[in-house]
Amino acid sequence: MTVAPDRVVTIRYTLRVEGEVVDQGELPYLHGHHNLLEALEEALEGHEPGDQVRVHLSPEEAYGVRDPEAVAVLELDRFPEEVEVVPGAQFYAEGSDGEARAFTVVSVEGNEVHVDFNHPLAGATLDFEVEVTGVRPATPEELAHGHVHG
């Protein structure tokens, strides 16, 4: 059975950015429902279990280019006391629209916390090494929900 819309596809993957492994694992996803990056799903379409696929995604095809203006300075004493505010730590802030927006701490200087709202992989070119390890039809319930059930 090949990778096609409305099928549950299991992949084993390694993600590298500039030669360094930033993520790896094995996961099932529902193909054709925007569960993965669209360009990655497109590259997997038509493959079958056992196939190995190398996918090279530009920032535009992945998490977008970095917006140099999506940075801010927050006050350290407005963070909850129990959290550790250190470079690399990730938090959520509620935007003016009520939506939660993730940000990453870049540096802490006195009471100033410099943060970046860009996706951590914004601006990165992604190299995926993917092996398709399984394909099965999705259940009606999975199709209704738009995601895989355990």
Binding site for Zn ion (CB under 5 A): 145
Rounded to the nearest whole angstrom, what is the least distance from the CB of residue 66 to Zn ion in the complex?
A: 33
Measured from the CB atom, the residue of 121 and 148 that comes closer to Zn ion is 148
Residue 36 beta carbon to Zn ion: minimum distance, rounded to whole angstroms: 17
- Residue-wise over 64-86: b if at least 16 C-beta within 10 A, else e? eebeeeeeeebeeeebeeeeeee
Q: Where are the alpha helices (DSSP H) in the chain?
A: 38-44, 140-145
Shortest Cβ contact with Zn ion: which residue?
A: 145
Whole-number minimum distance, CB 148 to Zn ion, in Å? 8
**Which CB atom, from 34 or from 145, has the smaller least distance to Zn ion?**
145
Closest to 40 (Cα-Cα) out of 13, 8, 66, 22: 13
What is the number of alpha carbons within 13 Å of residue 33 lying toward its C-beta? 17
56 vs 145 by CB, closer to Zn ion:
145
Minimum distance of Zn ion from residue 31's CB (angstroms): 16
Identify the three-state secondary structure at position 40. helix
With respect to Zn ion, which residue has the nearer C-beta, 88 or 150? 150
